């Protein structure tokens, strides 16, 4: 087992894998916290933030903790258990990944993320919070799920500004090397598009023609999902466009 002062919770997820690959490419030792740490991988550590199992052991001796683990329904509890395990240790930089617009869109998961942010801010632990827009991988997953059949239903009018998970990972790493800023920073992709525009591009590049009906989202939730609340002015111009990302990833599939 290697020892390191860096822990990535959620290091097995989409963003976590990207961050771990970046650190590994620079020979930076780090531990990956997972509920199912694979045996034989000496930088994995078994921990469960929901059940609050082995969290104290995982954070012990760490100076940088990237908190990327998430739970759709209980994100705030995961964060609370992590904060409790860190306790009064102030010799630490907690880098938390959040989502652009969580304070504007009344979506249940976003309320959990906001509660996580607020708990971190109130904890006294030195922190940096990075809010990112949706990852290309996530938009791709949504479109392939909603358009599985020849006729699909899609909330066409949602506006998103997709970004490469690898760019978010690089920004998290950069921030971790700075002093904790004690506030929230935003990052977003190169362009904002509607889900309909992204689905059209997906159909064109994949050659899969579908009949798509609009799935309306009512009320304040629909209004905020569709009025640009998920976008940010802090866009990274060198992030791949949706078209470029698809061209690269659909070919690889």
Question: Are the C-beta atoms of 150 and 211 separated by less than 8 Å?
Answer: yes
For residues 98 to 137, the per-residue mask of contacts with ligand NAP, x marking binding by CB under 6 A and - elsewhere, is -x-------------x------------------x-xx--
Segment near ligand NAP (CB under 6 A), from 8-16, 22-30, 150-158, 196-204? 8-16
Helix axes 136-146 and 195-206, enclosed angle (nearest 10): 80
User: Is residue 22 a contact residue for ligand NAP (CB under 6 A)?
Assistant: no
Segment near ligand NAP (CB under 6 A), from 5-13, 83-91, 200-208, 241-249? 5-13
Whole-number minimum distance, CB 171 to ligand NAP, in Å? 12
Whole-number minimum distance, CB 153 to ligand NAP, in Å? 21
User: What length does the chain have?
Assistant: 253
Question: Are the C-beta atoms of 4 and 29 separated by less than 8 Å?
Answer: yes
Identity of the residue, 4 or 134, whose beta carbon is nearer to ligand NAP in the bound complex: 134
Read off the tokens for 147.
Answer: 């358009």
Q: HSE (CB half, 13 Å, CA atoms) of 208?
A: 14
C-beta nearest to ligand NAP: residue: 13
Whole-number minimum distance, CB 155 to ligand NAP, in Å? 15
Q: Where are the alpha helices (DSSP H) in the chain?
A: 14-25, 55-59, 75-86, 108-123, 136-146, 165-177, 195-206, 219-226, 242-252
Whole-number minimum distance, CB 70 to ligand NAP, in Å? 4
How many whole angstroms separate alpha carbon 232 and alpha carbon 253? 30
For residues 52 to 81, the per-residue mask of contacts with ligand NAP, x marking binding by CB under 6 A and - elsewhere, is ----------------xxxx------x---
11 alpha carbon, distance to own chain's centre: 11
Segment near ligand NAP (CB under 6 A), from 27-35, 87-95, 187-195, 223-231? 27-35
Number of H helices, E strands in the chain: 9, 11
Identity of the residue, 90 or 112, whose beta carbon is nearer to ligand NAP in the bound complex: 112
Question: Are the C-beta atoms of 219 and 168 separated by less than 8 Å?
Answer: no
- Candidate residues 6, 7, 16, 62; the one interacting with ligand NAP per rule CB under 6 A: 16
Residues of this chain that bind ligand NAP (CB under 6 A): 9-10, 12-16, 33-36, 47-50, 68-71, 78, 97, 99, 113, 132, 134-135, 138
């Amino acid at each position: 087992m290697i020892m390191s002062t860096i822990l990535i919770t959620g290091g097995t997820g989409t963003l976590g894998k990207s961050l771990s690959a970046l650190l590994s490419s620079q020979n930076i030792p780090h531990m990956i916290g997972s509920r199912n740490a694979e045996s034989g991988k000496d930088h994995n550590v078994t921990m469960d933030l929901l059940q609050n199992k082995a969290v104290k052991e995982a954070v012990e001796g760490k100076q940088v903790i990237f908190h990327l683990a998430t739970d759709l329904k209980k994100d705030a509890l995961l964060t609370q258990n992590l904060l409790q395990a860190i306790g009064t240790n102030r010799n630490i930089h907690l880098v938390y990944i959040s989502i652009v617009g969580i304070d504007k869109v009344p979506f249940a998961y976003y309320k959990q993320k906001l509660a996580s942010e607020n708990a971190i801010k109130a904890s006294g632990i030195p922190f940096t919070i990075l809010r990112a827009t949706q990852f290309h991988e996530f938009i791709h997953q949504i479109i392939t799920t909603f358009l599985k059949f020849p006729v699909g239903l899609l909330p066409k009018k949602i506006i998103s500004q997709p970004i490469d998970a690898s760019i978010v990972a690089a920004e998290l790493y950069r921030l971790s090397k700075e002093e904790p800023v004690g506030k929230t920073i935003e990052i977003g992709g190169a362009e904002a598009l509607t889900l309909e525009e992204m689905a059209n591009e997906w159909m064109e590049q994949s050659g899969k023609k579908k009949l798509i009906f609009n799935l309306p989202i009512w009320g304040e939730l629909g209004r905020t999902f569709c009025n640009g609340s998920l976008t940010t002015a802090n866009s990274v111009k060198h992030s791949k466009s949706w078209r470029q990302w698809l061209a690269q990833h659909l070919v690889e599939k």
